[in-house]
Structure 1
Amino acid sequence: MTLFHHNVAFNPHPGKGELSVLFSGKAQTKPLHKVGPQVLDYYLVHYIVSGRGTFRCMGQDYQLKQGNSFFIFPGDLVSYASDSEQPWCYRWIGFKGNRADEYLHKLGITQHHPVNVTKQHRKMNALFHQLEHKLHDRQPHSDMQSEGYLRLILAEYAQDLHETSVPAKEVPAIQQQIELAIRWLTLQHNQPISIEQMAQSLGYHRTHLSKMFKQHTGMSPMNFLLKIRMERARLLLQESLTVDQVASSVGFADALYFSKQFKKWFGRSPSEYRQDQTTNPYDCSE
């Protein structure tokens, strides 16, 4: 669906340390604008500037409004949609880092507790805006500057975490098993894996696991694996890789078969998609 207004800025040289910003943006969505279900391989935080909407993660729905934030972790199945009457406007930051998970858990932000309420609305909105502005500048030190703003934002979340965070409900054991299955598929997506291997690894019979998986995700494990691979391929096509290399990187030994599957999924061949996606390699964050 088309957005009323959409800005995005990218970090041309993201670092590989504790925290690194990949991109940042802002969007005013249309009523009922929906993203997902999808699985990402980076962290993504949305801060709601105005309006309302619903965020779904780990089988739980969160009704969110101005001042709320929601976090997406790599490997999690999520979706979110704006309200029909008060569609939300939000800012977002995509990031990665070898200590990102640790920092978020220290703030009490986890896959089962992915929502935060901010007291200082104006300050938080300004910090998100300043981070995006630094990326638009494309200065030599924009990576370090944007990382600094991300740390300031996380510090703001830390200040009033215990008083205002939205409580999480207890997650059923079966949902935790599906989460493990999703993570297993996400981590192994570039390997020639089978559902039998996944079932054996998780200690379930293949048929039982497949039935549980479809009940909770709406997709069979193999279709979900294909979705992960296609989403990953879409990102890799933004890099200086051949189609053969992209196919191999997402678990396809046959590049021709990969191209056919990609066209079925996105309606365009990998080469056509690459030509069309020259400005927004992380468009799934809209």
Structure 2
Amino acid sequence: MPVSSSQPYHSVAFNPHPGKGELTLLFSGQEQTKPQHIVGPQVLDYHLIHYVVSGRGTFRCMGKEYQLTRGSSFFIFPGELVGYSSDESEPWSYRWLGFKGPRADEYLNVMGISQHKPVAVTRNDRKMRALFHQLEQTLHQRQPHCDMQAQGYLRLILAQYAQDLVANTAPHGEASGIQQQVEQAIRWLTFQYHQPISIEQMAQSLGYHRTHLSKMFKQHTGLSPMSFLLKIRMERAKLLLHEPLTIEQVASSVGFTDPLYFSKQFRKWYGRSPSEYRQDHTANPYDCSQ
């Protein structure tokens, strides 16, 4: 049944025989939303990709808003507080897929997708729509072998995203090469922020000299790597303070072994303690601007 551009429509197909490999496809679906259709705020325990077929909408993640139209995609990561809503006059239609797996973050990281960079623009709209359609149709068949076929479509979709992202950020000379090094360091920090890490560890892991990496990082971001790491941790802590967690649990979740030191850093960064921040913002889970 085709999706109408004017009549709301919803369809979803679940994987009847999900495997347990490095990537596991859970479900796929599509929807023509109503005007101002709202989802969230919510936290998921799996990865979710939405591909916008038509219309307009807003995606909210990590305290930021992204305005998305046809050909755009937004990526939801496990444990992140997110929400999204369709436009009032041009409600969007999108296709989606959900997956999980021990290497899911790694695949997205290589593509340049993270919680801090959760959107992408597709160059080959026709091919991407076809892949999502074929994936959903495969799951609707509910055959014993459909998991293997669905896994194939999942990898083709991720490969298409990777191809488009590489094409959109193709290097041009030395400056782009340095930019790639900095972006790689940012991705590393984004995925390791909850660990007790150092610049030496990051430089060794990425294969760069510590002094060179620190210099290039500050030139491109305006912050030292450790200041940038603290920024990531504080932004993440703000979001976690909207959750039913103790201050000690929030501190541990963002890489602090000492909750008192965490509270001191949080006060330096935002001008109030974690407890005061929580009391001031319990009414609005998206009010992360202060």
Q: Which residue of 1 aligns with 2:36?
A: 32
Contact 1:23 1:94 (8 Å CA) reproduced: yes
Shift of 1:162: 3.7
Please give the per-residue CA displacement for 1:31-86, whole angstroms capped at 9, x wherever unaligned: 11010111100000000000000101111111100000000000111110000110
For structure 1, list consecutive stretches of 5 or more residues without a partner in the other structure.
221-286
Equivalent residue of 1:205, what SS? helix
Q: Which residue of 1 aligns with 2:49?
A: 45
Partners of 2:282 and 2:77 lie apart in 1 by 17
**Of 86, 89, 106, which residue of structure 2 is paired with 1:85?**
89
1:70 matched to 2:87? The reply is no
Cα distance change, pair 197–172 in 1 and its aligned pair in 2 (3 A): closer
Contact 2:237 2:250 (8 Å CA) reproduced: no
For structure 2, list consecutive stretches of 5 or more residues without a partner in the other structure.
1-6, 170-182, 187-220, 222-227, 265-271, 286-290
Q: Which moved more, 1:17-26 or 1:196-205?
A: 196-205
Structural RMSD (CA): 3.1
Equivalent residue of 2:133, what SS? helix
Partners of 2:87 and 2:144 lie apart in 1 by 40
Partners of 1:124 and 1:217 lie apart in 2 by 40
Q: Which residue of 1 aligns with 2:246?
A: 194
Q: Which residue of 2 aligns with 1:204?
A: 262
Contact 1:131 1:149 (8 Å CA) reproduced: yes
Contact 2:62 2:239 (8 Å CA) reproduced: no
Cα distance change, pair 176–216 in 1 and its aligned pair in 2 (3 A): farther
Q: Which residue of 1 aligns with 2:234?
A: 177
Contact 2:242 2:278 (8 Å CA) reproduced: no
Equivalent residue of 1:54, what SS? strand
Shift of 1:195: 3.4
User: TM-score w.r.t. structure 2 length?
Assistant: 0.65
Contact 1:28 1:90 (8 Å CA) reproduced: yes
Amino acid at match of 2:274: L
Higher-Rg structure is 2
Residue correspondences, number: 212
In the TM superposition, 1:256-267 aligns within 5 A as: none
Partners of 2:241 and 2:10 lie apart in 1 by 34
Partners of 2:151 and 2:240 lie apart in 1 by 27
User: TM-score w.r.t. structure 1 length?
Assistant: 0.66
Cα distance change, pair 35–185 in 1 and its aligned pair in 2 (3 A): closer
Contact 1:53 1:80 (8 Å CA) reproduced: yes
